[in-house]
Amino acid sequence: MTLLPTTYINQIGQHVGATVTLAGWVYNKTEKGKLVFIQLRDGTGTIQCVVFRKNVSEEVFAAAKSLTQESSVRITGGVRADERAPSGYEIDVTAVEPVHVAEEYPITPKEHGTEFLMEHRHLHVRSAKQHALLRIRAEVIAAAEGFLNDNDFIRYDTPILTPVAAEGTTNLFATQYFDLGTAYLAQTGQLYVESGMMSFGKVYCFGPTFRAEQSKTRRHLTEFWMIEPEMAFADQDDNMVLQENFVSAIVQRVLARRSADLATLDRDVTALANVKPPFPRISYDEAVERINAAAATGTTVQPDDKPLPAIMWGEDFGSPHETFLAAQFDRPVFVVNYPTAVKAFYMQPVDGRPEVVHCADLLAPEGYGEIIGGSQRIHDMQLLEARIREHGLNPEHYRWYLDLRRYGTVPHSGFGMGIERCTAWIAGTHHIRDTIAFPRQLYRIYP
RNA sequence: UCCCCGAUAGCUCAAUGGUAGAGCACGCGGCUGUUAACCGCGGUGUUCCAGGUUCGAGUCCUGGUCGGGGAGCCA
């Protein structure tokens, strides 16, 4: 006994002339007199199933007619190639076994608003474009982990419940942890992953991270997934070489394996084909000069063509600045050596220029913003402890972190890549919320 | 937190301060090639909530709720 189908829709081309049993859901149905057309979806694809009244019993024909949108069903029939079918193949149905005739389905093939779709997100994920996006997301993750595993990185997972704010910058979600006081949901695994780096040399963590910022933009989620490699005996140049190889490998694997999904999304893949090492590198100093030169001539920035604001050296970039900078290159661009004052406490200062640190943000093209932030970490214990104090942080909270510098410290570097931003860029989707099954946003926690 | 915008049928949206509407979805009927099918027939509402102005409010005013877009922050 088995309930499994004899094949899946994405394999249907190998079964032309044979009889198969498929199991799936009714994506759409239309009746035309003595014909019923069923678009059947099984998760791997969609195929047209044709029920001819004359070829089946009255019971089978009635069963076919009874199916509503998203009803679950097992369908048996012969596979044939037919130019009139959307996928080129169709099933000449001989048997229909409804598993469940669905109630009236709220999401129709017509247009819907964002709020309605987000309220029905648990059903929305069945739709073709969401399906393609989530499959690309899965491929991005598989490619990222595959690249790191192939390069001898060990997955080293870090805690989500943490006793203090790791970087002491953003707002965190707090929860009560038994009798031990307040715990916080991790905003990054970086500090912990550094301990694994000292153990294994090359490690990465991958998991959800949480930011309690009241961000309301198409680039932000309060819960998002980040992959954070960390490498011993590596300076910031080594770090950037790793990043450009990493990102290029992800993009090229998605292009190779998910072209059908990219086509479903109408993604222009010509821009992605350029994503190969090396990526351009510009310094923060040069970026400021470029921004101010452009701002002086009244340059405007997509998407709303507002004027590019000028910037003072020492200020962090705003979103329009990043969009402007990224638009000048045909692949992601590193902006390196930001002012020390605007970056986290653990970043290694540049020799002879203590006002800037060894770090880089990787800006994706087409307005998708920063997809990677990375740096060389301070490996000297005295300097690190001084920085912790300068930032108003309690060194006692970082005792274990300082220990890493006490016992065999080495120069090391690492970065974090946001899975959703990377996926949004590669898939070319407007809003980051579509790249995760259940987006958590300022005004959304359901479903 | 700040700025802008919105809320009317299950959905997407109309409606000079004067009878609450359409398309889709859904139901029934028709059609042997539909691709968001088409044709005919069918019913539908706390106009987000609470006040106010007015002979009369979906429409104007005040406050609130919920949501969307952006800023800042960042992945």
Q: What is the DSSP track for A50-66?
A: EEEGGGS-HHHHHHHHH
pLDDT reported for residue A189: 93
Helix axes A399-406, A190-200, angle to 10 degrees: 30
Give me chain A's average pLDDT, please.
92
Query: pLDDT tens, A333-366?
Result: 999 999 999 999 999 999 999 999 999 999 998 7
pLDDT reported for residue A108: 83
* Closest residue (CA to C1') to nucleotide B69 in the complex: A217
Q: Which nucleotides of B are covered by protein (CB under 7 A)?
A: 1-3, 10-13, 23-27, 30-38, 66-75
List of A residues 346-375 with CB within 7 A of strand B:
361, 369-373
Query: pLDDT tens, A294-317?
Result: 988 888 876 667 788 889 999 999
| Distance separating alpha carbons of residues A138 and A269, to the nearest angstrom | 18
Residue A319 has pLDDT above 70, yes or no: yes
pLDDT reported for residue A169: 63
Name the nucleotide with the smallest C1'–CA separation from A320. B71
pLDDT reported for residue A216: 83
What is the share, in percent, of chain A residues with pLDDT greater than 70? 98
Name the nucleotide with the smallest C1'–CA separation from A374. B75
**Which residues are CB-contacts of A138 (< 8 A; sequence separation ≥ 6)?**
none
pLDDT reported for residue A225: 95
Q: Return the CATH number of A9-100, one of 2.40.50.140, 1.10.530.10, 1.10.287.3510, 1.10.3720.10.
A: 2.40.50.140
Query: pLDDT tens, A267-279?
Result: 989 989 999 999 9
What is the share, in percent, of chain A residues with pLDDT greater than 90? 71
Residue A46 has pLDDT above 80, yes or no: yes
Contact A137, A147 (CB under 8 A): no
Over residues A47-63, mean pLDDT: 92
pLDDT reported for residue A303: 62
Model confidence at A376, pLDDT cuts 50, 70, 90, reads very high
pLDDT reported for residue A166: 62
Query: pLDDT tens, A168-208?
Result: 567 888 888 999 988 999 999 999 999 999 999 999 999 99
Over residues A394-422, mean pLDDT: 95
Residue A57 has pLDDT above 80, yes or no: yes
Sign of CA dihedral A257, A260, A264, A269: positive
pLDDT reported for residue A394: 87
| Distance separating alpha carbons of residues A288 and A339, to the nearest angstrom | 11
Query: pLDDT tens, A81-134?
Result: 999 898 999 999 999 999 998 888 888 877 788 888 988 999 999 998 999 999
From A244, A253, A255, select the one nearest A146 (Cα to Cα): A253
Query: pLDDT tens, A250-271?
Result: 999 999 999 999 998 989 899 8
CB of A379 nearer than 7 A to strand B: no
Residue A445 has pLDDT above 90, yes or no: no
Would you kindly state where each structural domain of chain A is located, as residue ranges? Answer: 9-100, 121-280+329-435
ipTM score of the complex?
Answer: 0.86
Is A121-280+329-435 in the same CATH topology as A9-100?
no
The winner for highest mean pLDDT among A295-309, A360-374, A398-412 is A398-412
pLDDT reported for residue A363: 94
Residue A367 has pLDDT above 80, yes or no: no
List of A residues 71-100 with CB within 7 A of strand B:
82, 84-86, 90
In chain A, count H helices and then E strands.
Answer: 13, 20
The residue whose two tokens read 């909270």 is: A397
pLDDT reported for residue A304: 66
**Which residues are CB-contacts of A183 (< 8 A; sequence separation ≥ 6)?**
A161, A162, A163, A174, A175, A176, A177
The C1' atom of B74 and the CA atom of A183 lie apart, in whole Å, by 21
CB of A220 nearer than 7 A to strand B: yes
Model confidence at A167, pLDDT cuts 50, 70, 90, reads low
Contact A187, A210 (CB under 8 A): yes
Fold of A121-280+329-435: BirA Bifunctional Protein; domain 2 (3.30.930)
